[in-house]
Structure 1
Amino acid sequence: MSDEREKREKLVELMRDMPIAMMTTYGSEGPHSFPMARQEVEPSAELWFITARDTRHVRDIGVDPRVSLTFSSRDSWVAMTGRAEIVDDRAKLGELWNTFAEAWLPGGPDNPDAVLVRVDVESAEYWDTPGGKISSLLSFVKTKLTGDTFDAEHGTVRP
């Protein structure tokens, strides 16, 4: 198995427990960050989000499609960059719709204010501290005692 393939598989594994991202847009008012729920279960080079049409981030993407996404769990972190696009596709919206989206946008996928954000991922990085809290604590102690670096797995993936 290639190193690149192993890194992709590791990224997919880590993201299973990371449904919420902090998305940063770079519109005319400068960087703006906000939480967004990822809709697809399996991360790929294409990520989907449901949002309201009349929001600052939708306007920002219209000005500059570059976005950054950060995900985290208790002991792992993922950072991605890519290009976002606003997609007005009712069939895809219906396919991705869930009760979480309903809480933010009542009326279901037919709500005229509901729209999709598709992010085409250009690069991704992850950091993982396998073993959870105990392993992280032991690694921290080892770092303090020996001066070695903290034991965390790091990888960069380009789709």
Structure 2
Amino acid sequence: MTISTDRNQQIQQLQQLIQGIDYAMLTTIDEDGSLHSRPMYFNGDIDTNGTLWFFSSATSHKALEVEHRQQVSVNFSSPNQQRFISISGTAELVKDRQEIQQRWQPELETWFPQGLNEPNIALLKVNIKRVDYWDDKSNFHAKSISL
């Protein structure tokens, strides 16, 4: 098996783990070094490179935190299905209009009432480095995926 095949399988496994989970907790590092978490709507957007995408305002506090310290954690949970996923990686702010248009979904109007015309709309791109997860199939022993 080649490395790219292994990676593709790991990304598919991650996609299956987070399938159907609409919200994640994104943790960033504040300027004083403290951790700051907030819920983020997740529209199922994980690409074939193992990258998570979230919509954000480019002027939000989380965007400023990511510009100073790129390390983030993203956590998903589905207690009813006994799935818990913790992702660590690096984030960057993306303001590319074409990328924003490509990833836009109507559900996002809840947070961006002007849609794609929202003046400070941006994407948070999370490059995944490691995934730890617990689920009923693993008998709640930690399993890891490195991307």
Normalised by the size of structure 1, how large is the TM-score? 0.77
Mapped partners of 2:123, 2:10: distance in 1:
28
**Larger Rg: 1 or 2?**
1
Q: Map 1:10-159 to 2 at 5 A.
A: 10-29=13-32, 30-42=34-46, 44=48, 45-73=50-78, 74=80, 75-130=82-137, 151-152=139-140, 154-159=142-147
SS in 2 for 1:17: coil
- Asked whether the equivalents of residues 39 and 47 of structure 1 are also in contact (C-alpha less than 8 Å), the reply is no
Question: Which segments of 5 or more consecutive residues in structure 1 lack a partner in the other structure?
Answer: 131-149
Deviation at 1:61, TM superposition (A): 0.4
Q: Partner amino acid for 2:27?
A: T
Question: How many residue pairs align between the two structures?
Answer: 139
SS in 2 for 1:18: coil
Normalised by the size of structure 2, how large is the TM-score? 0.83
- Asked whether the equivalents of residues 49 and 116 of structure 1 are also in contact (C-alpha less than 8 Å), the reply is yes
Q: CA RMSD in A?
A: 2.2
Identity of aligned residues (%): 27
